[in-house]
Amino acid sequence: MEILESLCARCARHQQTCCQESDIYVTTQDVARISAHVGHSDFTEYRIPTDEVYLNEHHDPLWMEKVFRPDGSRRVLKQQPNQDCIFLGNQGCILPEEVRPLICRLYPVEFSQHEIRTEPAKCCPRELLLPGQSVFDAVKVNPDDVARWHAMLYQELAQEN
């Protein structure tokens, strides 16, 4: 049986990926997990999103309440000078899957507090999906893992100050 390349690999040849030029929000627990792995915690900063897609989450009140500070900024991973994620290496993310930010683990699955959708995020190149292919199959992720990470994300968001 032929093993198909993941959507992420196809995307990287087609366009800038979600790991490039994106503001990657991290919870305080994401920061703790990553810090324990890399041995430091100077990989985040607070930035006001410049892409309006990050500001259009009004259908998810908990997200809007917990992610954004009063000045409109949010805690995100720093970027390399070329705007790639600080943890993006030549072969992809240098962090093990269970250390990566929950947002990264979930992407490109669309979600809100009470819903996990089966279509890919709007920024994801949907034209690269094979006919009848689900987003879970396309990115080679187990739906049970997606549900677990989604639950973790909203538990962690609820604990944010």
Residue 3 pLDDT exceeds 80? no
Residue 14 pLDDT exceeds 50? yes
pLDDT digits (tens, 9 = 90+) for 127-137: 777 777 777 77
Give the domain ranges of the chain: 7-159
Q: pLDDT category, 62, cuts 50, 70, 90?
A: very high
Gyration radius of the chain over CA positions: 16
Q: What is the pLDDT of residue 20?
A: 76
Residue 102 pLDDT exceeds 90? yes
Q: pLDDT category, 156, cuts 50, 70, 90?
A: very high
pLDDT digits (tens, 9 = 90+) for 67-87: 999 999 999 999 999 888 999
Integer distance in angstroms from the first to the last C-alpha of the chain? 49
Sign of the Cα torsion 12, 17, 20, 26 reads negative
Q: Look-up: residue for tokens 């993006």?
A: 88
Say how many CA atoms lie within 13 Å of 2 toward its Cβ. 3
Residue 120 pLDDT exceeds 60? yes
